[in-house]
Structure 1
């Protein structure tokens, strides 16, 4: 079997995660975090849609990690993003991290909003 290392030219990959934290681009972040093109920052949760909407021209889909288990997104949160023309997919945070890395490795225009497990 031949293994090929994935390069992430257009974004910052998630390196790891654990209870209450994420490791992104070699840095450890506690609590909720956003991974947008060219930026990793703390996130205020579902009420904090402004930075996601501001990224509408740079991303096609935002993966939302809802914590340890997949839960429904608040309708107002989903609606705000969809009205801005952004696709939204929710899943448990661990799955969101893995899916984000795969899509990022494919060169897709993707962002990540994560709640800790």
Structure 2
């Protein structure tokens, strides 16, 4: 039980990104085709297909998560590139930090940060 006498606290069990490439991701042993969003430890299908087509609206589930997210870790595709200004501005206006890198680097970084208990949203464009 927790110190207050209520139910025991359940430790977070964030999903792990085990593999990427071939147009999708293996998340905790399950293949997920297409781009991926992980918010509040929940993997979700994400409609983003390229950095060039990314819009602030693509992050609606992140905005809706509120305090469950400290910052967005954005995997931008095969090579690191600057996300479109409207996306950067919208995330900043929502009070969210943004880190961006290649999808491969973002998948590895997500695993480390999630294991440390960080509250992040991973937004990964499939490669």
TM-score (norm 1): 0.86
Deviation (angstroms), 1:10: 4.3
Aligned to 1:70: 80
Residue 11 of structure 1 corresponds to: 14
1:30 to 33, 37, 51: 33
Match of 1:44 among 26, 36, 47: 47
Q: Which 10-residue stretch deviates more, 56-65 or 42-51? A: 42-51
Q: Secondary structure in 2 aligned to 1:113?
A: strand
1:56 match: 66
How far off is 1:44 after superposition?
2.1
Confirm or deny that 1:97 pairs with 2:116: no
Q: CA deviation at 1:79?
A: 1.2
Tell me the TM-score normalised to structure 2 length. Answer: 0.80
Report the count of equivalent residues. Answer: 110
In terms of Rg, which structure is larger? 2
Distance apart, 1:32 and its partner CA = 1.1
Runs (5+) with no aligned partner, structure 2: 1-10, 49-53
Q: Which runs of structure 1 show a deviation greater than 6 angstroms over 4 or more consecutive aligned residues?
A: none
| In 2, Cα distance between equivalents of 1:101 and 1:41 | 16
Where does residue 3 of structure 2 map in the other structure?
A: none
Contact 2:62 2:69 in 1 (8 A): no
